[in-house]
Structure 1
Amino acid sequence: MSTHALDLEMSLETREEVELARTAQRCIMSALDHSNAVSIALLEDGVERIDGLPLLKLPPKVLQLIANMLGSLAQGKAVALMPKELDVTTQQAAQFLNVSRPHLIRLLEQGAIAHHMVGSHRRIRLADVLDYKEKRSQQSREKLTALLEQAQELDMGYPR
């Protein structure tokens, strides 16, 4: 999204890479289910060694992030890693939210998403875009639940 950001965008290209990602995700998730601290042995040089293998200790939250990324990659989805403090352009935010840029500008002008000006250009913190998307998803879930309840009350064939 920005050349100034620490970002990594990638996808897996071979069947072997996809299978390795699936296997690694299963191993990480299994380890997290059975422990609150997980150690991973690397095949390259490291600082500590157990039985001749380098040891890397990672917090569970980091392992969960890695497992989620591996799962997405194994499903053929591209993954991007970037800091939430990153500022994005209106075009980038619109693409992320899957809305038109003019619609996004209206949302900014209405105050639905916070933004700031850099010269004459609007910039939006990625965290604010993510917050808006989560609120929009929550509202959609609530409205769908209300519609389902109404359909059940009207006996429209939806089971309770």
Structure 2
Amino acid sequence: MLALMDQTRAPFVADEAEAVVARRAADSLKAVAETHQSVKVSIGGPDANIVVPLPASAVAMFHAVLEAMANRTPISLIPHDAELSTQQAADFLNVSRPFLIRQLEGGVLAYRKVGAHRRVRFSDLMAYERQCRQEQSKALAELHDEEKRLGLE
């Protein structure tokens, strides 16, 4: 159930030929993904034709992956229940490891200990990042209001 990031595959980057195919596929899926529609994908072969229903959320995810491939952007899929080391978590948040440790020990971010090592669930990391972004947005709005109040616009 729990997977460490270093046990998952390295980020995938499409080669030139794959990027061209991905661009065509992404362009084909774009309208459907934007309208949040479910689709049926037909996979034909010499022996059989398979029809696979895809919910709208899967269509949107496939579109995002195809866009990344078309742009040759490295992508990784990380299970939501994956556990990261403190260094991996710090790298993901683009903060220093000592800063992350202070957040963990201060109770700001949940973690568990495995022996002497701390592990942070990816889902907890995403929630923390979302909360930080909300706080940043609120601070910027307050700063903007203060700027208006002082007539510095």
TM-score scaled by structure 2?
A: 0.83
SS in 2 for 1:12: coil
Q: Counterparts of 2:45 and 2:72 in 1: how far apart (Å)?
A: 27
1:68 alignment partner, one of 48, 59, 64: 64
**8 Å Cα contact 1:8-1:82 kept in structure 2:** no
What is the match of residue 101 of structure 2?
105
Superimposed CA distance per residue, residues 108-160 of structure 1 (whole angstroms, 9 cap, x where no aligned partner): 00011100011111111111111111111111111112222222333323xxx
> Alignment length, in residue pairs?
149
Structural RMSD (CA): 2.3
Aligned: 1:120 with 2:105: no
Percent identity between the two aligned chains: 29
Closer, same or farther in 2 for the Cα pair 1:57/1:143, shift >3 Å?
A: same
SS in 1 for 2:11: strand
SS in 2 for 1:36: coil
What is the match of residue 78 of structure 1?
74
1:149 alignment partner, one of 123, 145, 149: 145
Task: Specify every segment of 5 or more residues in structure 2 that has no aligned partner in the other structure, as ranges.
Answer: none
Q: Counterparts of 2:66 and 2:42 in 1: how far apart (Å)?
A: 17
What is the match of residue 94 of structure 1?
90
- Give the Å deviation of 1:44: 4.9
What is the match of residue 37 of structure 1?
38
**8 Å Cα contact 2:83-2:121 kept in structure 1:** yes
Q: Counterparts of 2:47 and 2:138 in 1: how far apart (Å)?
A: 49
Q: Counterparts of 2:55 and 2:47 in 1: how far apart (Å)?
A: 17
Q: Counterparts of 1:155 and 1:46 in 2: how far apart (Å)?
A: 73
